[in-house]
Chains A and B, each alone.
Chain A
Amino acid sequence: MAQVATGPELTPRQSSRNLPSMAVNNDRPELKEEVVKALETYKKKDSPKVVVRFRGVGNAPIMKQNVYKIIATNRFQAVIQFLRKELGWQKGEPLFLYINSTFSPAPDDTVLNLFKSFSTEGYLIVNYSTTPAWG
């Protein structure tokens, strides 16, 4: 692994085709250290919080407090569950969530991704409704 620092242009590039069977059964056998570190960095969970502003639509109950800080790497599913709990919604009671009064994000998308693309004036605006509003 330490050889990486000497620079790849000094040594001829080796094809992994020569030793195909060696690679099997090892966890990440020939990954460069810098690649492993890079992947770990991009996977890190300790992220900043972002501000989410909830807005009820139609007959939806109004929240006393409607601005919350949420950990950015949370999935949107966590936002859905959080809001249901805040509203005291029972399982099976319908609740529809939208971003910027336009679309429902995929539940496995992260709050960070949504915030990066759709925040307005530092808030991610999440509308909620008891009936489909922007189907």
Chain B
Amino acid sequence: MTDYNTTLFRRLTWEGTVPLEIRVDPKELPANSNRGLECYYVQAPRVSYLPLIVPEIRKFLMDVVFDEIAAKGLKDEEWWFESEEGTLLKWHWPIGVIYDNHTISASIRSSPMPSTSTPCPMRLILHLAAPPNDKLFLSPTIDACKQAFMNQLKEADFIRWGNTRRMTSLRKADQDGLWEGIRERDFDDYWRVASKLMPFAGSPLRSTSPPPVGSSLSRPLSADTVSTPERDGAYSIRSVPVRIYLPDGPVLQELAPPLLEDGKRFWQDVLQCISTERPIDTGTPHTLSHFFSNHFALLFPPRPPPPPPSRSNPNPQAPDVPELAYALIQGVISPPEAELAWLGSCMAGADGWLNICVGINRR
């Protein structure tokens, strides 16, 4: 079964790239290097990893920058990356997460909100020796990165279903195919296997009559999917695998069930139920705004309920609360009414995790 809406957004997520500017630490350039050219620019896939782009960086440096004899002493396994501000860049973080995490950390310094029209390259410093292994945690090999990726997939599988049977029942060739899909940047190869692990956002009802593209782009909600959740659908999982990145750390994990149970609901959710004619007792979709005002109320203060209607004000509005922070997912500032189940299904990384970076609004 294919779901047009889910596949569209998965493809958009998969094809996302980020601009990187990689510069060798000038103090570590080998003798006789071609200075002035030691910068490499790459538009790197968000779902990829630093060890996977090291080979092309090395080829550029060997061909253009390094002196052949002086470069002989260099060892790949001693290379490591740092941001311009001195943050160690981890081998096992998806490149998109590294980029977004850099964006939100800059949001508490001087940069304005991220602009979707003119993305800035993130500046990386490449060091050629003395890696701080205790802080990088993993060896810089592609194989170590693959192992970490596989374990992340399993961990996400466990959070989603309460066991890892979907992952462990994959044949070895299929498991390897997931990683190969990332290496080869092949959407179809990757999702041929990954769709056995990750639920579709839509219901069978919806998939037979996909909405027009325009409407699904402007309103990425799944309001009509909830009353009869599919057994394997995004609204039937135990919890969405989600990690929250705050500026300059920490990284936090919270349980994120796709539907809210009775009694835990905010009045906005009830209103949404009524406006979309959804039965209230099936549980309302867990939205970003509910999740954040529940777990991070200091940055996402919940809106108090509107005052009761009166003769002078028959349709009272809830009072405004300051928008202190925003949620950045795959480089996109996400609307508060977005549903976690939909986000987890359509905008998770290739490792199955929905990574949400929290930036600070500057006003």
Contacts and interface: CB of A to CB of B under 8 A. Distances in A.
Interface of A: 8-9, 13-17, 23-32, 34-35, 37-39, 41-43, 73, 77, 99-100, 102-110, 113-114, 116-118, 134
Interface stretch (B2-10, B107-115, B117-125): B107-115
Interface string B282-314: 000000000000001011000000000000000
Contacts of B299: 35, 38-39, 42
B253 A116 contact: yes
B151 A31 contact: no
Given A24-B110, A27-B109, A100 B250 contact: no
Given A32-B324, A38-B298, A43-B248, 7 more contacts: A8-B363, A17-B112, A30-B362, A35-B325, A39-B299, A104-B147, A116-B254
B105 to A, nearest CB: 11
A102 B154 contact: yes
Among A17, A42, A104, A108: residue with most chain B CB under 10 A: A42
Given A27-B109, A39-B247, A108-B137, A103 B252 contact: no
Contacts of A37: 298
Contact of B90 (A13, A39, A108): A108
Given A42-B250, A77-B137, A113-B252, A103 B158 contact: yes
A116 B255 contact: yes
Contacts of B164: 102-103
Interface in B322-349: 322, 324-325
Contacts of B138: 107
Contacts of A26: 110
Interface string B243-259: 10011111111110000
Contacts of B325: 35
Contacts of A106: 92, 137, 148, 151-152
A114 B252 CA distance: 10
A103 B154 contact: yes
Contact of B322 (A8, A39, A99): A8
A35 B324 contact: yes
A44 to B, nearest CB: 9
Please classify how large the interface on chain B is, using the bins under 10, 10 to 19, 20 to 34, 35 or more: 35 or more
A102 B148 contact: no
A103 B155 contact: yes
Contacts of A14: 363
30 contacts: A8-B320, A9-B320, A15-B363, A16-B363, A23-B362, A24-B110, A27-B109, A28-B109, A30-B362, A31-B360, A34-B324, A35-B325, A38-B298, A39-B108, A39-B248, A41-B298, A42-B250, A42-B252, A42-B298, A77-B137, A99-B155, A103-B155, A104-B151, A107-B138, A109-B253, A110-B250, A113-B251, A113-B252, A114-B253, A117-B239
A29 B148 contact: no
Nearest to A114: B253
Given A39-B246, A105-B151, A31 B108 contact: yes
Contacts of A13: 363
A43 B246 contact: yes
Contacts of A17: 112
Interface of B: 90, 92, 108-110, 112, 137-138, 147-148, 151-152, 154-155, 158-159, 163-164, 168, 239, 243, 246-255, 296, 298-299, 320, 322, 324-325, 360, 362-363
Contacts of A117: 158-159, 239, 253, 255
A113 B242 CA distance: 11
Contacts of B243: 113
Contacts of A24: 110
A113 B253 contact: yes
A100 B158 contact: yes
B362 to A, nearest CB: 5
A77 B252 CA distance: 16
Interface centre among B92, B325, B360 (most CB of A within 10 A): B360
Given A31-B360, A113-B251, A118-B158, A42 B108 contact: no
Contacts of A15: 363
A29 B108 contact: no
